[in-house]
Amino acid sequence: MRNNRARLPLSLVYLFDSAYSSITIIFYFIPSYKIIHSLIRINRFKSGKVVIILAGRFAGRKAVVVKASDEGNDKVKYGHAIVAGIDRYPRKIVKAMGGKKVEKRSKIKPFIKSLNLSHIMPTRYTVDFDLKKSFDESALANADSRTDSKKKLKKMFEEKYKTQNPKDKKAAGVSYFFNKLRF
């Protein structure tokens, strides 16, 4: 009975209560793995959500969701998301540094990639980058379009990094995104 109980959506448990010497019947709901998995996935990955990549070459890097598809499409059968992230983060800047040094240390190396939803973890932060209009699945089609989209992404990220506004509502998400994950 114990092995079958985990598979049943609705289970009965009989408890013998020695104090009252009666049998009580308790109904409880054990949702199956598929139900839990589908409930967790609802609206987790919206455009602009900061995520951490868990697997692959860019594991441990932060990225922003450009477009997410929970069910997949005709080419890819699993849920996936197009993400744009930072491969090489900007380095620390102090007040004593000159303009050229600040410019050099503010360089960012971006990436754009399509990932399985199980290989990314959402964070509580969102950013207000307008990536959905600029990048889509056609940007990942061949090497030339990927290179062009990386160059455009590099300019966009460096501009946002230099013009961060600490009083902005989404400033916490932007500053979190541009800081390297320490682990």
Residue-wise pLDDT for 109-160, tens only, equals 999 998 988 899 999 998 888 777 777 777 777 888 888 888 999 999 988 8
pLDDT tens, residue by residue, 59-111: 999 999 998 887 777 777 888 888 999 999 999 989 899 989 999 998 999 99
**What CA–CA distance (Å, rounded) separates 47 from 128?**
9
Q: List the domains of the chain with CATH numbers.
A: 45-178 (2.30.30.770)
The strand order across the sheet containing 120-126 reads 109-116, 80-88, 62-69, 49-53, 120-126
Number of Cβ within a 10 Å radius of residue 65: 26
Integer angstrom CA distances of residue 87 from 79, 136, 163, 181: 23, 19, 20, 11
**What CA–CA distance (Å, rounded) separates 57 from 61?**
9
pLDDT tens, residue by residue, 10-29: 444 444 444 554 554 544 45
Enter the pTM of the model: 0.71
51 and 121 Cβ atoms separated by less than 8 Å = yes
